[in-house]
Chain A
Amino acid sequence: MTWLNSHPLSFLVFAPAILGLLILALPHALGRLSRMLGFMGALAFFALSLAWLLGHGGGGVLSERAPWFTLVGLPVDYALAVDGLNLWLVILTTFLVPLTMLGTWNSIKDRIGTFAAMFLLLETGMLGALMAQDLFFFYLFWEAMLIPMYFMIGVWGGDERRYAANKFFLYTLSGSLLWLVALLYLANKAGGFNPLLMGQAASLLPFGVQCWLFIAFAVAFAIKVPLFPLHTWLPDAHVQAPTAGSVILAGVLLKLGGYGFLRFAIPMFPQASMHYAKPIAILSVIAIVYGALVAMVQRDIKKLVAYSSVSHMGFVMLGLASFTVIGTQGAMLQMLNHGISTGALFLLVGMIYDRAHTRMIADFGGVAVKMPVFTAFFFIVTLSSIGLPLTNGFVGEFWILNGTFLSGFGWGRLYACLATSGVLLGAVYMLWMFKRVFWGPENKDEDSGTHHLHSDLNLREVAVLLPIVVLIIWMGVHPKTFVAVSEAPVTALLKDANAPAPRTFVLKPAVHEAAPSHEAGAPHEGAPEASIEPAAHEVHR
């Protein structure tokens, strides 16, 4: 017990893996027991994470740090921490794992025990990567995470699962291996893998070298996000993965890319990240619009959701590239939103697929008549994905666009306007899909998907979807719950990065003497008071 009190984070990270290995060792015939064991365990980890992390006061920093080993002269620390930047992502992870297990209870037909074990191993990888505060340690989890995901896609996936699993594995590996070289280079200069020391060492390097290192970091993270044009693995992986894999992939794995930028790439290379803010913003805008346009023409609902992920994660990257507090806070919230909404969409698609054995939009029509409860849930999640006010999607996207518009960079306004079209397109593809699948006359065709829908959601499925709907509304009405803790770290991060002050808009610019100097987008020294931004949640009010 005393060990537990002093090492709650270690327990949270490694307990799922231990349980997973235990389940892996159970004989094949005990699959159902294994599944139940895995679910109960995951639920317990969620409860513990809530109790420990939120009970701790929410805003404080929990951390564990001890020297681990020194190999070839480089010390590696065993360092875990939960602070404002990752608190909610950690809880999102522990929340989504049991939820997904419950939501896909009967989707996996064979080797259910092994599947539960893989899921738990994956949870360890994700939590470890989210909490690790030493770059080597982070790298270990970052890579180790690929292994269970590879098997989840490859063993339980769709028809093209082998191709998709290999593509996912190798694509991600390619980015992180080059990143490893950059890490080693920097660790060699810094004498260790502590991000602070590495950041200091990086600031002493010539600017050109910093840029190269930043690119190596950025590419590794951008592949995970995924940022256009590095997104091509995502549709394959999402479509082929089993429902549970898709949910976790969208819900947590993609977040790790954005989180990596926020936690490591930007604080370690502030100058270089400012230098590349514009290219990243351009790619984000392309991702937003391109993802939405491609989603619009998809025939497969799951693929549509996959491309909508590209679009939504583009918003996250745009918010980060704006280098404003409100934009970054919006990106934080959007990561949570996307985890909830897209995760829920994948779950819903999985539920209809389990009944109809098809995901083609053309195979449906008039589902609303057959499955009213399902339709209601799908509609709420759709609205959240579109970003309707009062749902979570609205707050995140609004803050991001607001931050981009206000950003001290000269390109801010234009890109904010362009990205706004993504919101509109989002409504188009989601609602159009919704219309074709759920509304209209019932599809009477014998072979159609609608024909095979015999039962509406059962209690288990409703139990899975209810908390999601509650969260969607909660996050839309009172986002402060979820972003209050990250306010201080984000502000400090941007201050350390020396981000350009956001513009201020006043009704009579001619009277305001400071306004012209903001046009250049350079850090403004003269009137700091004028550039103090309102706190993110206050803007929303």
Chain B
Amino acid sequence: MNLSPSQWAALLPLIIPSVGACLIAIMALDKDQATAKWIRGAMYGTALLAVAASFWLLTELWKSGSQPSFGQLHLDRLAQFTGIFVLVAAALTIMQSWDHFHQEGWVKGETLCLLLFATVGMMLFASTSNFVLLFLALELFSIPLYALVGTVRARSESSEGGMKYFLTGAVASSCFLMGGVLIYGLSGTLDLSMAAPILKTQGLALDPLVLVGAALMLLGFLFKVSAVPFHQWTPDAYEASPHPIAGFMSVATKGVAFIALMRIFPVSFAPLGAVGAKMQSVVAVLAVATLVVGNLTALVQTNVKRMLAYSSISHAGYLMLGFVAGTPAAFNGVLFYLVIYMAMNMGAFGLLTAFGLVGEKTTFDDLRGLGWKRPAMGVAAAIFMLSLAGIPPMGGFYGKYMIFRELVGTGHVGMAILGVLASLVSAYYYLRLLVALFLQAPSAEAERLASDRPAVHAPFAGATVLVCAAIVMAGGFIQTFLSDGFTRRALVEGLGLIR
């Protein structure tokens, strides 16, 4: 089979990480103690190299402006944007996991291999509107993540969280599959962007089965973004998984699920106006529930990872508000928000690694006074938390600003008020982390333990935290560059939304 250069261009960004993953799996077979150190380095190097190569290919594509495709795989602007987004998150995760797994004493090649496969799956998930490919991609990134959550087998709660995530995730995937099957059965096409016009010409636009199909597919997406009431897995899975993996799940999974949702619902299903409107009202109701439940539950958490899990639920709520507004500018806001959110959350989870908190020792009390001991990390933590709370001049404010502005512009003033009240509540629990870091002295026992232990050495995690902080601040000061040069182009040229 001969592939044209354009087809290669579409395929290579996905193939390279897959090949890297396979290589790592082979390297991980080595059990020789003497060479273990070198093999480890080689595995992490390979993983980073694979991610970097794919990243380079995508940025070249972005610069050239071409949007190649291979069969049902369309590597358009939006897919390239998603690819870059996921790859950056993956690179940060790989760097952080080097430090984290060394702290845990559990350095395994499989985790990297799974991580790369998940990355490929995510890139694929946002690059197609073909249902079969969508489902395959969904499984390709979900199954490695189930395994990654439970990867530190030495901790019993780790496998518990993985199991919980797997069982609920499997149900959500089958719902998604069922929804797609219904749409396929009625329209006779697997391409969702073709299905909508066909259903419309057949006069099935408001057929109950179409509605059920669309609703089931929506459920699959909402599960992945951890919207209420499909959120229960989130805190347990995050708490169980290694910090970098939790960070990766919180940003990459949510990000691609939202981007794929954007491709399917407002765009592909646009011809079925009524269905879209109904789904939008469902999203509106669930967004409200997500904001309320996510924020209020986060208030009472004592564990930082669980707090971040509920905070990630509440951020899903803000992003869903963008879908409620439903204008192209609101989708632009969603993409912008996702970029900043990636930096904020990868940074926040990276902090835990940089501070050397392992296992169960991730409560607020474990963080006390650390901001003064590690000033650079402390400043970065302040940037992340204030940005998560949406305080200017951090980038997180602009994400919220864009979404709220569109909400108000489309007449959803009540939703906007709810949104700002939710971020007021969220400010409290984000401040709690700063209170622990700066405003509380460490307990005497923690001091004694700390003096016994060797100093925490986490150079890579520290570096990623600083990079993330820089991105967040950049989002606050060169927001137009990010939004016009990056997210808006992805929407305009990828989805053809804003003309």
Contacts and interface: CB of A to CB of B under 8 A. Distances in A.
Whether chains A and B associate is yes
Contacts of B375: 28
Which of B375, B420, B423 has most A Cβ within 10 Å? B420
Contacts of B404: 180-181, 184
Contacts of B406: 72
Nearest to B408: A184
Given A143-B392, A181-B416, A72 B439 contact: no
A169 interface: yes
B490 to A, nearest CB: 16
B435 interface: yes
B273 interface: no
A173 B404 CA distance: 16
Contact of A162 (B391, B393, B440): B440
Interface string B468-498: 0000000000011001000000000000000
A170 to B, nearest CB: 6
Contacts of B382: 147
A166 B431 contact: yes
A166 B299 CA distance: 14
B82 interface: no
B408 A185 contact: yes
Contacts of B329: 72-73
A111 B424 CA distance: 30
Nearest to B425: A170
A184 B329 CA distance: 14
Given A147-B391, A170-B427, 13 more contacts: A24-B379, A69-B480, A70-B480, A71-B483, A72-B401, A73-B329, A143-B391, A166-B435, A177-B420, A180-B401, A184-B409, A185-B408, A188-B409
Nearest to A68: B480
Interface string B390-405: 0111000110011011
B401 A71 contact: yes
B427 A173 contact: yes
Contacts of B136: none
B423 A177 contact: yes
A240 to B, nearest CB: 11
B413 interface: yes
B96 interface: no
10 contacts: A71-B401, A72-B329, A144-B393, A151-B438, A173-B391, A173-B427, A178-B417, A180-B401, A181-B420, A184-B416
Contacts of A143: 391-392, 397
B439 A170 contact: no
Contacts of A205: none
Interface of B: 329, 332-333, 372, 375, 379, 382, 386, 391-393, 397-398, 401-402, 404-406, 408-409, 413, 416-417, 420-421, 423-424, 427-428, 431, 434-435, 438-440, 479-480, 483
A369 B408 CA distance: 64
B439 A181 contact: no
Contacts of A139: 392
B172 to A, nearest CB: 33
B391 A188 contact: no
A73 B480 CA distance: 11
A162 B434 CA distance: 10
Which of B397, B398, B424 has most A Cβ within 10 Å? B424
B405 A188 contact: yes
A166 B372 CA distance: 19
Nearest to B404: A184
Interface string A509-535: 000000000000000000000000000
B200 to A, nearest CB: 31
B392 A174 contact: no
Contacts of A111: 372
A16 to B, nearest CB: 15
Contacts of B397: 143
Contact of B405 (A24, A74, A144, A162): A74
Given A162-B440, A166-B435, A72 B405 contact: yes
B398 A166 contact: no
A209 to B, nearest CB: 10
Contact of A72 (B332, B420, B428): B332
Contacts of B435: 154, 162, 165-166
A140 interface: yes
Contacts of B423: 177
Nearest to B478: A69
A174 B424 contact: yes
Contacts of A188: 405, 408-409
Interface in A135-157: 139-140, 143-144, 146-147, 150-151, 154-155
B420 A178 contact: yes
A303 interface: no
Contacts of B480: 69-71
Nearest to B428: A170
A166 B402 contact: no
Contacts of B402: 71-72
A177 B424 contact: yes
A181 B393 contact: no
A20 to B, nearest CB: 12
A458 to B, nearest CB: 31
A224 interface: no
A473 B413 CA distance: 51
A29 B447 CA distance: 21
A451 interface: no
A178 B150 CA distance: 43
A74 B404 CA distance: 13
Interface string A437-473: 0000000000000000000000000000000000000
A177 B390 CA distance: 10
A144 B391 contact: yes
Given A177-B421, A181-B408, A185-B413, A69 B386 contact: no
Interface in A17-69: 24, 28, 69
B479 A71 contact: yes
A161 interface: yes
A185 B440 CA distance: 40
A71 B479 CA distance: 8
A24 B392 CA distance: 20
Contact of A155 (B379, B386, B438, B479): B438
Contacts of A150: 431
Contacts of B421: 177-178
Which 4 A-B residue pairs are closest in the complex by CB-CB distance?
Answer: A177-B420, A69-B480, A184-B408, A154-B439
A179 to B, nearest CB: 9
Contacts of A155: 438-439
Contacts of A166: 428, 431, 435
A111 B439 CA distance: 13
Which of B392, B427, B440 has most A Cβ within 10 Å? B392
Contacts of B416: 181, 184
A25 to B, nearest CB: 9
Contacts of A146: 391
A181 B423 CA distance: 12
Nearest to A180: B420
A413 B423 CA distance: 44
Contacts of A174: 424
Contacts of B398: 71
A28 to B, nearest CB: 8
B439 A161 contact: yes
Nearest to A157: B439
Contacts of B393: 140, 144
A53 to B, nearest CB: 25
Contacts of B420: 177-178, 180-181
A154 B382 CA distance: 13
